[in-house]
Amino acid sequence: MSLLQVQNLIVEFPGRRGTLRAIDDISFDIAPGEILGVVGESGAGKSLTGAAIIGLLEPPGRIASGQVLLEGQRIDNMTFDQMRHIRGRKIGAIFQDPLTSLNPLYTIGRQLTETIQAHLPVNDAEAKRRAIGLLEDTGIPAAAERIDHYPHQFSGGMRQRVVIALALAAEPKLIVADEPTTALDVSIQAQIIQLLKRICKERGAAVMLITHDMGVIAETCDRVAVMYAGRIAEIGPVHEVINQPAHPYTSGLMAAIPDITIDRERLNQIDGSMPRLTAIPKGCAYNPRCPRVFDRCTVERPELLDAGATRAACWLHDAHGVVTRSASVGATA
């Protein structure tokens, strides 16, 4: 059974000139112990999806339709106070900049123990013991001494480890990690990735990993959802999506990744840019940039269709997952 189920989620932003639809009818699920990567360009809707799940949409943003279920319980319609008990206890969050998640005036130990005691019935001594254990689990050296340090006394990579420890403090079932490695150098990125994978395996937690880095996705995730203009363009096992992409947009993303085994002067690129929310084109939102566009793409919007081992929102596939055009879908854009 899926731990998280997102069903037909629509997120809108009402304004004086009309309502902008930022997330347009997306559905996916995550099983216990699974890492689902969510990837796409800036503005695709990745972070908004995560914010909607954990109940942290910035006003006037709102969930206009659809459902979010955690362990079969609907959480998208909960009050703010009800959601506060879910966050931390059942859902942990890891954000891009650890300084936005840590209070500079409190020691790391105080922030950890307060979080633990807010969600678990433990005394001060047990809370401190758990806090030290969490710091040790996330790779903080000399945790028993460093627990009394302040955030500014930690490096960027160590601060991110502390944020991960905070996210794990109440033993949540789901972790939403929004660009957790973007601000870190490559060697620290690799350590954080390994840490997330170990946590997922040992604790059986489900992880939703939001990133724009396909390298991080390839190294970390079991499945990946590729987002474009507020919709899922393709979703499936990470190995299949990376090596045999079924959507031209995914093919373009893959082709744009540098390959040290190929000698070429210029990297491939996807021409154009993602449409503004006020100017989503008719039909498939990707059609103005797609090298394989044909008439149906400009008038009719595709839903996710079976495409071999993955599902892709592309008219190159009929309902049985058969390519309807002669060229290979995996061709680079």
User: Please, what are the averages of pLDDT over each run of 10 residues along the chain (333 residues)?
Assistant: 95 92 97 95 94 94 97 94 90 87 95 94 96 92 96 92 92 93 81 85 91 88 97 97 96 84 78 91 96 94 94 82 42 37
Cα distance between residue 202 and residue 230, in whole Å: 33
In the three-class reduction of DSSP (H, G, I as helix; E, B as strand; rest coil), residue 186 is classed as: helix
- The whole-angstrom separation of Cα 167 and Cα 249 is 33
For 257-309, write each residue's pLDDT tens digit. 877 777 777 778 898 999 998 899 999 999 999 999 999 999 999 999 999 99
pLDDT value, residue 275: 94
pLDDT of residue 322: 45
The predicted pLDDT at position 318 comes to 61
Reading the block at residue 333, the tokens are 């854009």
* Beta strand residue intervals within 40-164, DSSP E: 62-70, 73-74, 91-94
Backbone angles phi, psi at 112, to 5 degrees: -70, -50
Q: DSSP character for 285?
A: T
Domains in the chain: ranges and CATH: 32-55+77-221 (3.40.50.300), 248-312 (no CATH)
Direct distance between the N- and C-terminal alpha carbons of the chain, in angstroms, rounded to an integer: 37
pTM of the model: 0.90
Element (H, E) at 311: strand 310-312
pLDDT at res. 319:
52
CB-count exposure of residue 236 (10 Å: 0-12, 13-18, 19+): buried
pLDDT at 194: 87
